């Protein structure tokens, strides 16, 4: 009985002939073109997240002592790291629509790896804050990760695909709590370096990992299922599939480069002459209401104009997802930064190391819970064909997330079992809400998916900044901040529950 579903994890997927998107996810088959894009999507985001959050594990004691930082300096560096990600996420959406998510992904990994390698040059609090701002570029890798996945997987499985790549990527925030201390300890104990030198050398490791993954992505993957980003509109010619470069054959014969170019130009010429006018665009058609949500042409991402960007960003369906993601992912980012300290206040006998490990578990649960949120969203959609069901599932998760935050904050548990149990329950609903959100994102303006993904992704960081400010304002009263965020989450999710899920 389990043979069928398990086989889909390895087998090359069935492909939708109208848009060349996969109808299943070859999770364990990186040799397949679709499986390879899936593999590099989650791996690229994971290593970016690992580098992005590489400072907190060593900042608590080692870096703080070496640079003589105050608690305010540490808090400011955390906020600045989120600010940079917010800015780059917002602009990376339109960049994905114009240049393609693969190149934007590679560019972000390479750009963020450079300041990571320069950590050894930091000598002051201002230098650390400036460095973490530029390292924050890596957090924006979430946007091309989701846009790239959306371009390769069909709508029946896109929620699962997006949630898997994002959830496994988010786990990098937990993995870094194990990786960076291990690298630091190895340099001190086995290489004889002083703490002053060891923490600086340790940041060469994430630099190497980021560059290696970026090169692998650049050299082994394609922009779209049909090849180049510039040729994505040739995916469909009057509803008939164009043979994709992933399978460059015809009548059993491998096509020569000249033949492929000749046929591609011919199809392009016929398409332009008979099916489209030069003045129209897929996004304009969708915005004007002349194409249905699932119209084939509406799925072709187009380079947006400024007017189109503003229209999409300011529409109610986009703003709804923006506000909900600011509550869910924003709360996750804020909790990632303070959870170890919160545990230490309530359970000082555990010590810094144990508290840090329990805090890491909150991030590591993304491996399971975020994909589950997207999978259930897809399952509900397949059985009902209703986007309202996806929307209501997301609202339900957001409200229950707020309830768990209220319970944890108001009770302020002094029992380890109660505290860890509440935050494990919170992790399920909060991280599942992140996955459910980006299960709905691809349905909102498919021809401008980069804009929507970038705007919603940036909102997560904006929420993180706001909630970090709440934590900073309340100082060591972590319980007060937690229940305050719970009230905000419940109120916002109920406030936007009536808005249509798509335009």
Kindly report, residue by residue over 331-373, the tens digit of the pLDDT.
998 898 788 789 988 998 887 668 878 888 888 898 899 999 9
Of 69-83, 123-137, 242-256, the one with minimum mean pLDDT is 242-256
Residue 23 DSSP symbol = S
Longest pairwise C-alpha distance within the chain: 75
Mean pLDDT over 482-503 rounds to 94
Mean pLDDT over 467-491 rounds to 91
Mean pLDDT over 8-16 rounds to 85
Q: Buried (b) or exposed (e) across 313-336, using 16+ Cβ within 10 A? A: bebebbbbbbbbbbbbbbbbbbbb
Alpha carbon distance 236, 245 (integer Å) = 14
Question: Secondary structure of the chain: what % helix, strand, coil (to 5)?
Answer: 75, 5, 20
Q: Residue written as tokens 């909790």?
A: 335
* Structure-token pair, residue 480: 């007060």
| Residue pair 44/220 in contact by the 8 Å Cβ criterion | no
Across the chain, mean pLDDT equals 84
Residue 286 pLDDT > 70, yes or no? no
| Residue pair 354/361 in contact by the 8 Å Cβ criterion | no
More confident residue, 278 or 66: 66
Residues in the chain: 503
Q: Residue written as tokens 């029946």?
A: 156
More confident residue, 481 or 309: 481
Percentage of the chain lying above the pLDDT 90 cut: 48
Give first-to-last CA distance, the chain, whole Å: 41
Percentage of the chain lying above the pLDDT 70 cut: 84
Alpha carbon distance 57, 120 (integer Å) = 16
Mean pLDDT over 252-274 rounds to 47
The fold for domain 30-226+312-495 equals Growth Hormone; Chain: A; (1.20.1250)
Q: What is the pLDDT of residue 262?
A: 52
Residue 474 pLDDT > 80, yes or no? yes
Residue 318 pLDDT level (bands cut at 50, 70, 90): very high
Q: What is the pLDDT of residue 395?
A: 97
Alpha carbon distance 157, 374 (integer Å) = 9
| Residue pair 264/231 in contact by the 8 Å Cβ criterion | yes
Q: What is the pLDDT of residue 235?
A: 52
More confident residue, 7 or 270: 7
Mean pLDDT over 483-495 rounds to 97
Q: What is the pLDDT of residue 56?
A: 82
Residue 64 pLDDT level (bands cut at 50, 70, 90): confident
Residue 380 pLDDT > 50, yes or no? yes
Q: What is the per-residue pLDDT across 391-429, written as a single tens digit (0 to 9) for each?
A: 999 999 999 999 999 999 999 999 999 999 999 999 999
Q: What is the per-residue pLDDT across 424-458, written as a single tens digit (0 to 9) for each?
A: 999 999 999 999 998 999 889 888 878 888 899 88
Alpha carbon distance 435, 394 (integer Å) = 9
Burial of 211 from C-beta contacts in 10 A (0-12 / 13-18 / 19+): middle
Alpha carbon distance 92, 103 (integer Å) = 11
What backbone phi and psi angles, to 5 degrees, belong to 68? 55, 55
Q: What is the pLDDT of residue 446?
A: 85
| Residue pair 114/493 in contact by the 8 Å Cβ criterion | no
Contacts for 491 with CB less than 8 Å, ≥ 6 apart? 402
């Amino acid at each position: 009985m389990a043979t069928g579903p398990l086989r889909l994890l390895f087998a090359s997927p069935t492909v939708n002939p109208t848009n060349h998107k996969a109808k299943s996810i070859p999770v364990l088959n990186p040799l397949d073109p679709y499986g390879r894009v899936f593999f590099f999507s989650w791996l690229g985001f994971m290593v970016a997240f690992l580098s992005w959050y590489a400072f907190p594990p060593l900042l608590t004691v080692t870096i703080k002592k070496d640079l003589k930082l105050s608690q305010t300096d540490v808090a400011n560096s955390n906020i600045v790291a989120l600010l940079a990600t917010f800015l780059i996420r917002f602009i990376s959406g339109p960049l994905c629509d114009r240049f393609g998510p693969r190149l934007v992904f590679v560019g972000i990994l390479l750009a963020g790896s450079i300041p990571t390698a320069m950590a050894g040059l930091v000598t002051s609090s201002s230098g650390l804050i400036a460095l973490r701002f530029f390292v924050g570029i890596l957090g924006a890798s979430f946007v091309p990760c989701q846009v790239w996945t959306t371009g390769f997987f069909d709508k029946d499985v896109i929620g699962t695909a997006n949630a898997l790549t994002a959830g496994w990527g988010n786990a990098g925030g937990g993995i870094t709590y194990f990786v960076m201390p291990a690298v630091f300890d190895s340099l001190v104990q086995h290489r004889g370096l002083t703490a002053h030198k060891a923490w600086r050398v340790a940041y060469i490791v994430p630099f190497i990992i980021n560059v290696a993954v970026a090169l692998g992505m650049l050299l082994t993957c394609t922009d779209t299922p049909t090849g180049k980003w510039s040729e994505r509109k040739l995916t469909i010619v009057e509803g008939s599939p164009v043979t994709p470069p992933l399978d460059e054959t015809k009548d059993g014969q491998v096509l020569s480069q000249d033949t492929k170019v000749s046929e591609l130009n011919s199809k392009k010429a016929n398409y332009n002459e008979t099916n489209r006018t030069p003045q129209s665009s897929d996004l304009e058609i969708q915005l004007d209401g002349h194409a249905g949500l699932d119209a084939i042409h509406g799925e072709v991402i187009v380079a947006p104009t400024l007017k189109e960007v503003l229209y999409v960003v300011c529409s109610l369906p986009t703003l709804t997802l923006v506000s909900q993601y600011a509550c869910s992912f924003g709360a996750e980012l804020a909790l990632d930064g303070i959870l170890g300290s919160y545990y230490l206040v309530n359970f000082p006998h555990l010590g810094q190391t144990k508290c840090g490990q329990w805090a890491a578990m909150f991030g590591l649960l993304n491996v399971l819970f975020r994909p589950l949120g997207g999978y259930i969203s897809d399952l509900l959609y397949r059985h009902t064909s209703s986007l309202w069901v996806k929307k209501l599932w997301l609202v339900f998760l957001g409200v229950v997330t707020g309830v768990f935050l209220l319970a944890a904050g108001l009770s302020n548990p002094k029992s380890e079992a109660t505290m860890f149990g509440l935050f494990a329950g919170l992790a399920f609903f909060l991280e599942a809400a992140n996955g459910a959100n980006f299960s709905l994102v691809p349905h909102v303006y498919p021809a401008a998916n980069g804009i929507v993904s970038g705007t919603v992704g940036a909102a997560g960081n904006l929420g993180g900044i706001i909630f970090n400010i709440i934590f900073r304002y309340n100082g060591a009263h972590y319980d007060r901040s937690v229940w305050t965020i719970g009230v905000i989450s419940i109120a916002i999710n109920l406030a936007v529950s009536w808005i249509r899920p798509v335009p």
